[in-house]
Amino acid sequence: MENTTLHIKNMVCPRCIKAVRQVLEQQGLDVADVGLGKAMLKSKPDGPQTEAIAKALEAEGFLLLDDRRHQLVESIKNIVVETVHYGELDELNENFSTLLAQRLQKDYHQLSKLFSEVENTTIEQYIIHQKIERVKELLLYGELTLSEISYKLGYSSVAHLSGQFKKVTGLTPSQFKQLKEGMRKPLDKI
């Protein structure tokens, strides 16, 4: 038996992994592993099964990707989300271009060009928007100072973080903190 990898769009958190695993198991599939953007099955589903999987995933807000270009773009997004939201950027000893090129074993310029063509934005802008969403989350928790958040997310200074935050949101971090709720976006909508 050969394993089959399904590429799935809009998986951005551990709950997404759990939901996808549940959908696949409800479809009667033998699931080997599920991670951000991917699910490995212990067997290859046939055409009707694949259609049923796609419909069941879509009902949960996910999209089965069968195009290699979109799969690669989704892999880029998953690495960025995983690194920004679940990693330690202050411990990242390389820049994102090197990280993406190494993890995906592709030339960064090819990745960047493909991402821009498919998403109509650059990888750099996508990273900035993910980092700003993480800043919003940390500001709302209220456990860290802006200086600590700046360090944690790998910014060179609080001024750099604040400037980027204002450029993206139209608010300073302190103005955002006063507004609180309603300003965060789901990760799959960024």
CA Rg value for the chain:
18
Q: How far apart are CA 10 and CA 75, in angstroms?
A: 11
> How confident is the model over 77-83, as a mean pLDDT?
92
Q: Return the structure tokens found at 82.
A: 């995983």
Place of tokens 């949101």: 169
The pLDDT tens digits of the residues spanning 120-177 come to: 999 999 999 999 999 999 998 888 999 999 998 989 899 999 999 999 999 999 888 8
Q: How far apart are CA 115 and CA 70, in angstroms?
A: 9
The pLDDT tens digits of the residues spanning 100-125 come to: 999 999 999 999 999 999 999 999 99
Q: Return the structure tokens found at 45.
A: 């589903």
The pLDDT tens digits of the residues spanning 38-64 come to: 999 998 888 889 999 999 999 999 999
Q: How far apart are CA 127 and CA 46, in angstroms?
A: 37
Annotation: CATH topology of 67-190: Arc Repressor Mutant, subunit A (1.10.10)
The full set of domain ranges for the chain reads 4-65, 67-190
The CATH number given to 4-65 is 3.30.70.100
pTM here?
0.76
pLDDT of residue 140: 87
* 4 close to 33: Cβ distance less than 8 angstroms: no
Closest CA to 60 of 90, 97, 20: 20
171 φ, ψ to 5°? -125, 155
